[in-house]
Chain A
Amino acid sequence: MLSNTKKLLGTPLLASLLVLLLPALAGASEWRLNMTQGVTEVSQEVYSLHMIIFWICTVIGVVVFGAMFYTMIMHRKSKGAKAANFHHSTQVEIIWTVIPSLILIAMAVPATSTLKKIYDTDDADMSVLVTGYQWKWKYEYLGEDLSFFSNLSTPQSQIYEGEARGENYLLEVDNPLVIPAGKKVKFLVTAQDVIHSWWVPDLAVKRDAIPGYVHEAWTRVDKEGIYRGQCAELCGKDHGFMPIEVHVRSQSDYNEWLTQEKAKAAEIAALTQKTFSFDELMAEGEAVYQRACAACHGPGGEGGVGPAIIKSKVATGPIDIHIDVIVNGITGTMMQAFGEQLNEVEAAAVITYQRNGFNNNMGDEIQPIDVYNFKQGN
C-alpha cells in the first residue's frame, strides 16, 4: 500500500500542474497575468509595491514549501525514516517571530509613503464631481457649468442575444469623462442611491461612491489616451454594466471639447421651449425608455425588479402624478428621481411613450415645457 501511496502522490501532482501551465504556454496576450502598471506616478508606485510584496511572498514560499517538499521526500516511512522526537525550541520560535516582523516593517515604510501620496488631494487644477447612480455615472465639472450622465453604450443585443461582441464590450459609454493631460484632477466621489465604486485601473484610482459622503481622490495623467474601468462595488442588478471611460486629451483639445459640450447643452436647453409632435415624442421616448427604464421595468414594459409599465397605475393614471414619479422618484423604493438624469425633452418623451406604448393607449401627451413648469413648481 505504501508504494501505491508514493505513486499516487507523484503523477497527479504533475498532471494538475500541466493542466495549469498548458494554457499559459499556448496562450497569446489575452492570458493576462499581472496588474497594469498604469499611466500615473501613483499607479506605477502601486505596481512596484505590488511586485515587491509579491517577490517577498515568493521567496518565503520557496523556502517554506522547499522545506516541506524536502521533508516529504526524505523523511518518509517507506524510505526507512525513523521519527525524531524533538518538539520544542524557544530559540527557533523567537527567530521565526522576529524575522517576519522585520520584513513587515520594511514593507510598511514604502506602503505608508505611497498611501500618503494617494491621500494628498491638495492643489488640484480642476475638480470633477462623480456621482454613482443605478447604473450609470454622472460627471459634473465644478465651476464650468457642465454636467452629464455616462451610460453603458454596448447594445443589449450583444449582451443577451449573442450578437458579435465589439472591441470594448461592456467597457464603453455614450459620454466619456474627458480630462486634460498633465493636470492634477480632483475627483469628488459620491452616490445618489446605493454604494458604488469608481475604479479606473490605469489611474490606480478606486473610491467608493457612498450616499451622504463626498470622498476625494485625484489623478494626473501625462499620457493622452482612453482608459477604461468599471464599478467595483455590488450595486444591484446591473452592477456589471456601468463602466467608466476616461479620455485624456491635450489642454487645447480639452478646451475645444469643453466649448462644444457647453454649446450642446445650451441647444438642448433651448429645445425645452419647442413643441414636439406626438410621433417625435414617441420615437424619442422609446430610445429613452430602453436606456433609462428597461433595466428595471423590462424592455417590453413587462416588469422585472421594478413593476410592469403595461397597465400600470401610474402610466394609466393622472398625468401629473406620472410626471411627479418620473421627476422625483418614489422615496423608500428603488424608483429613482429622474429629474436630473433626464432633460425636459427626454422626460416628456418617455412619459408620453409610457402612457401610449405597451398598449396603454392613454391618448395624451406632454411637452418639455410642461416638465419644466412642473420642476419650477408651477
Chain B
Amino acid sequence: MAHGPDKGLSRWLFTTNHKDIGSMYLWFSFLMFLVGGVMALIIRAELFEPGMQIVDPNFFNQMTTMHGLIMVFGAVMPAFVGLANWMVPLMIGAPDMALPRMNNWSFWILPFAFAMLGSTLFMEGGAPNFGWTFYAPLSTTYAPPSVTFFIFAVHIMGASSIMGSINIIATILNMRAPGMTLMKMPLFVWTWLITAYLLIAVMPVLAGVVTMMLMDIHFGTAFFDAAGGGDPVLFQHIFWFFGHPEVYIMILPAFGVVSAILPTFARKPLFGYSSMVYATAAIAFLSFIVWAHHMFTVGMPLFAELVFMYATMLIAVPTGVKVFNWVATMWKGSMTFETPMLFAIAFVILFTIGGFSGLMLAIAPVDFQYHDTYFVVAHFHYVLVPGAIFSITAGVYYWLPKWCGHMYNEVLGKTHFWLAFAGLNITFFPMHFSGLAGMPRRIPDYHDLFADWNMISSIGAFLFGAAQILFLYIVIRTIVSGRKATQEVWEGSHGLEWTVPSPAPYHTFDTPPEVK
C-alpha cells in the first residue's frame, strides 16, 4: 500500500488529498482570521474614545480596507472551501474531489495572493485605503500605488475561488455514491452546490471590474473617470452585481452547516428538507436582482429605487422559511447542548437579528438615514460574525472529532462559546445605537455624542478577540491530546461521514457505499 501520505513538507506541497487540502484551507483561513482580527482591534482601539490617539487617519483607512478584504476573501471564503473539501466527499460517499490536482493548485495560489496583499502595507504610499468596496475614483485616480498589487491579488483569489467551485460542482454532480439522488444529498452539499454556481457567475464580474480599474490606472482608459467620459456609478453597479451574491456566498454554506448540526442534537430529522433546498435556490436567484439596494443614495431614478426595494424585501420570505424550518426542527426534539449546538442556536438567533436589520435597510426611504452609518456596520457584522464565523466554528467543533479522532474538551468549548457570544453582542449590538444616533461608518474620530457606545464596542471587541485565542488552544489541545472519539461521535448523528472510522482514514470510500 503506497497510498499513505508523503513524509514532511512534500506531503503538504504536493498533496492531492481532499482531507489534507481541506485542513490546509482551514488553517490558512484561521491565520487570516487572526490577522484580520488584529486589524479590527487596531480600529477598535483607535475608536475607544474621541480624538486621534493611536494611528493616523490614512492608516486607519488602510486598516478598515484590509480588515474587510482579509475577512471576506481570506477568512470566511477559504474556511467554507476547507469544510467543503473535507466534508463533501465524505457526505456523498466519494473517494476524493473530482479534480485533485486542480484542488492543490487552487489552495496553493491563495497564500501568494495574500502575501502580495499584505505586502502592500510596507509599500510607499501604504496599503489600499479606499474601503473593501473600493469605489472608483477613490480607488483609481486617487489610490496609492499599491492598488496594482491589490488588483493582482484579487485576480488570484478569484481564480482560486473559480477553480474551487468547478471542483465542487464536478464532484457533486459526478461522484455521488449509488442511490444518493440529488434530493437525498445533505443540505450542506446542496448549499455548496448552489454557492459554487454563484461563485462561477460572479467572480469573473469581480475580475472584470478590477481589470477595468487597472486599465484606468495604467492604460489611459476612463471607465470610471467622469472627466474622461466615464461613470463612477458604473463601478458601483458592477461591484455590487458581484458583491451582493458574494454576501450569500458567505452565508449559504453556513445554512448547510447549521442544517446538519440542529437535527443531530435535536435527535430529529431536519424539518422541511425540500423547502430548504428550494428556499436556498430562491435566495440565490434573488441575490442577482437586488444589488442596487447598496446604492439607494446614489441618485437612481424613482422607478429603479422601487424595483430594488421590492425585490430586496422579497428576500425576507425564503430566509424566513429557513429560520422557521430550523425552529420546527428543534420543536419537540430531544435536545442536548454541546458546543456545536450552542453555536448553531446562536447562529439562528443572531443571524435572524441581522436579518431584521436587513429588512429595515431594505426600506429605501429609511435607508437614506441608515446608509453608510454604523447601523449598516452592525447589520452586516450580525449576519457575518454569528452567521459565517459562528457556523464555521460550529462546524469545526462538530466535525473535528471525525477529522482528528479526538474529542474536544466540552467545558473549554462552552467557555469559548460564551466568551465569543458575549464579546460579539457587546461589540456589535451597540453599533446599532451609534449608527441610529448618526455616526457615519469608516471615520477614525467622532463627536462625544457617540463616545459611550463606541467604548462599549471596543471592550467587546477585545473580549471577542481573546475568545479566538482560546479557540486555537482548544483545537490544538484536541488534536494533540483529546480523548478518543467514536465512529458516530454524536448520539444523534446521521449521514455517510459518520460511517467511517474516527479519525477518517487517509482514503475513504474506495468502494462506493450503497445509499438506500
A binding-site residues for B, Cβ under 8 Å: 1-2, 4-6, 8-9, 12-13, 15-16, 19-20, 23, 27, 30-36, 45-46, 49-50, 53-54, 57, 60-61, 64-65, 67-68, 71-72, 75-78, 81-89, 92-93, 96-97, 100-101, 104, 107-108, 111-112, 114-116, 118-119, 134, 158-160, 162, 165, 168-171, 189, 193-195, 197, 199, 201, 204-208, 210-213, 215-216, 229-241, 304-305, 331-334
Contact = CB atoms under 8 A, between A and B. Distances in A.
A248 to B, nearest CB: 18
B513 to A, nearest CB: 23
Given A27-B452, A88-B273, A53 B371 contact: no
Interface stretch (B31-39, B438-446, B498-506): B438-446
7 contacts: A13-B418, A46-B368, A78-B336, A92-B324, A194-B135, A234-B135, A240-B57
B440 A1 contact: no
B404 interface: no
Contacts of B371: 197, 206, 232
Given A53-B363, A54-B360, A60-B356, A87 B426 contact: no
A23 B440 CA distance: 22
B130 interface: yes
B330 interface: yes
B227 interface: yes
A283 to B, nearest CB: 28
A83 B334 contact: yes
Contacts of A75: 266, 330-335
B61 A333 contact: no
A334 B365 contact: no
Interface core residue of B321, B356, B421 (most chain A CB under 10 Å)? B356
B309 A5 contact: no
A6 B271 CA distance: 25
B366 interface: yes
Contact of B365 (A9, A68, A118, A197): A118
Nearest to A22: B456
B334 A207 contact: no
B367 to A, nearest CB: 9
Nearest to B432: A33
A311 B402 CA distance: 66
B488 interface: no
A232 B324 CA distance: 36
A1 B410 contact: yes
A210 B298 contact: yes
A239 B442 CA distance: 8
B51 A165 contact: yes
B4 interface: no
B369 A96 contact: no
A240 B445 contact: yes
B348 A213 contact: no
A107 B437 contact: no
Contacts of A89: 272
Given A61-B356, A237-B57, A87 B363 contact: no
Interface in B388-421: 410-411, 414, 418, 421
Contact of B369 (A32, A46, A76): A46
B456 A115 contact: no
A33 B436 contact: yes
Given A50-B360, A71-B332, A77-B267, A111 B135 contact: no
A77 B302 contact: no
Interface stretch (B98-106, B238-246, B310-318): B310-318
Contact of B426 (A20, A77, A116): A20
Given A46-B365, A210-B298, A240-B446, 18 more contacts: A30-B449, A50-B366, A57-B360, A60-B356, A65-B349, A71-B333, A86-B271, A92-B272, A93-B272, A97-B321, A111-B364, A115-B306, A169-B447, A193-B142, A211-B226, A212-B227, A213-B226, A334-B141
A320 B47 CA distance: 44
A159 B445 contact: yes
B137 A165 contact: no
A195 B230 CA distance: 14
B174 interface: no
Interface in B292-334: 297-299, 302, 305-306, 309-310, 313-314, 316-317, 320-321, 323-324, 327-328, 330-334
A101 B316 CA distance: 8
B422 A87 contact: no
A367 B165 CA distance: 66
Contacts, number: 321
Interface of B: 50-53, 57-58, 61, 125, 129-131, 135, 137-138, 141-142, 144, 226-227, 230-233, 266-275, 297-299, 302, 305-306, 309-310, 313-314, 316-317, 320-321, 323-324, 327-328, 330-338, 342, 345, 348-349, 352-353, 356-357, 359-360, 363-366, 368-369, 371-373, 410-411, 414, 418, 421-422, 425-426, 429, 433, 436-438, 440-449, 451-453, 456
A170 B506 CA distance: 60
A87 B272 contact: yes
Nearest to A100: B320
Contact of A32 (B330, B364, B441, B449): B449
A64 B231 CA distance: 45
Contacts of B345: 68, 72
A108 B369 contact: no
Contact of B58 (A83, A159, A210, A305): A305
B58 A104 contact: no
B323 A64 contact: yes
Nearest to A42: B365
A97 to B, nearest CB: 6
B138 A194 contact: yes
A100 B316 contact: yes
Given A61-B352, A100-B320, A115-B365, A232 B269 contact: no
Nearest to B59: A237
A16 B421 contact: yes
A49 B363 contact: yes
A32 B268 contact: no
A232 B138 contact: no
Nearest to A114: B365
A212 B138 CA distance: 14
B232 A210 contact: yes
Given A31-B453, A65-B349, A96-B324, A104 B227 contact: no
A245 to B, nearest CB: 12
Contacts of B302: 115-116, 119
Given A53-B360, A212-B232, A213-B233, A87 B445 contact: no
B321 A212 contact: no
A87 B273 contact: yes
A118 B61 contact: no
B375 to A, nearest CB: 9
Nearest to B342: A9
A195 B131 CA distance: 13
Nearest to B263: A87
Contacts of B444: 240
Contacts of A238: 57
Nearest to B139: A194
Contacts of A119: 302, 305
A68 B330 contact: yes
A47 to B, nearest CB: 8
Contact of A81 (B333, B338, B414, B453): B333
B268 A85 contact: yes
A104 B312 CA distance: 10
Contacts of B456: 23
A26 to B, nearest CB: 10
A332 B421 contact: no
Interface core residue of B50, B138, B141, B302 (most chain A CB under 10 Å)? B138
A111 B365 CA distance: 6
A9 B337 contact: yes
A340 B58 CA distance: 26
